[in-house]
Amino acid sequence: MSYETIEFEITDGVAVLTLNRPDSLNSFNTQMHGEVKDALKAVKKSDEVRCLLITGNGRGFCAGQDLSDRNVAPGSEAPNLGESIEKNYNPLIRTINGLEMPVICAVNGVAAGAGANIAFACDIVLAAKSASFIQAFCKIGLVPDSGGTYTLPRLVGSARAMALSMLGDKIKAEQAEQWGMIWKAVDDEALKDEALAMAKQLATQPTKGLALIKRAINASWNNSFDEQLDLERDLQTLAGRTDDYREGVAAFMEKRQPNFTGK
Ligand code: T3D
């Protein structure tokens, strides 16, 4: 499939998915949802990809839903937003969450509405210092979606999540880092190189082990302490059976660098 609204390439074990509708700050229309879905399917199926990097072209990362596709003029039939969420946004967030590899988000500019929450669904978020995050939904009478009402209170606490969601304030990248919303704010010029270097490094690491870490930390939000201890036991059992665990221990004992295959 050739793409118009995204760019997608796989190099050195890293899949880079770049949202590419810069004139509308990479907001999602139906075509972009379809293309992103297709690219993520390729990532999931690939034996080669061991890390996914998501970013955007232009001065925005993503402004959420393309509002020019929503006809809410008086007298016209209301769009069924639940259907749109069910068909597009929820599967996207579930796919990112369930991908058995690290997913990095390099937020190159403003991330608003679903755009912000797509970033927060990723495993490691880097943002350009000029980037910002806005729960823009309240400004148009909507509720944060794409996992925002789940992720945000867990990242920043209920007080901040509630105020951010009700006020729709713009949070700059450095503030987002201080609040623990993201991993790191970096200089604008350094963002893409730093994100790519991180992705390439992660793509050489024990992919199955990293996927199990992701599973454990995500599951912890819903588990009791005892359930989490049991889960750690079960996941460690799986990790202990991977080739990369053998290689990691062998390399340590032989005082050499490990050569992880992701298996
Ligand atoms: O509908 C469903 O399926 C349900 C799911 C909903 C998920 C959602 O994401 S709902 C929330 C939708 N997003 C928003 O409400 C954000 C709307 N955008 C903004 O508030 C502002 O654009 C920003 C705060 C993000 C950035 O502001 P600023 O001043 O830096 O840029 P701008 O001038 O507003 O935008 C630049 C251009 O992008 C502009 O087009 P123009 O005038 O140059 O031709 C603007 O219209 C366009 N743009 C920005 N966001 C969207 C958009 N066009 C369509 N849809 C957008 N979401």
Cα of 127 vs centre of ligand 1, distance in Å, is: 19
| Spatial CB neighbours of 43, under 8 Å, sequence gap ≥ 6 | 15, 17, 49, 52, 99, 101
What's the predicted TM-score (pTM) here?
A: 0.98
Per-domain residue ranges of the chain: 6-203, 207-254
Structurally, at CATH architecture level, domain 207-254 sits in Orthogonal Bundle (1.10)
Crossing angle, helix 30-45 and helix 90-98, to 10 degrees? Answer: 20
Q: What is the pLDDT of residue 71?
A: 80
Q: What is the pLDDT of residue 110?
A: 98
Q: What is the pLDDT of residue 158?
A: 98
Does residue 102 have its Cβ closer than 6 Å to ligand 1? no
**CA distances to 4, 6, 19, 206, 260 from 106, in Å:** 20, 15, 11, 22, 25
Q: What is the pLDDT of residue 1?
A: 74
Structurally, at CATH architecture level, domain 6-203 sits in Alpha-Beta Complex (3.90)
In the beta sheet, which residues pair with residue 9?
16
Domains 6-203 and 207-254 share a fold: no
Does residue 199 have its Cβ closer than 6 Å to ligand 1? no
In the beta sheet, which residues pair with residue 11?
14
Q: What is the pLDDT of residue 90?
A: 98
Which of 19, 24, 140 to mutate to test ligand 1, by most ligand atoms within 8 A of the CB atom?
Answer: 24
Q: What is the pLDDT of residue 104?
A: 99
Residues of the chain with pLDDT under 70: none
Q: Are 104 and 194 in contact (CB under 8 A)?
A: no
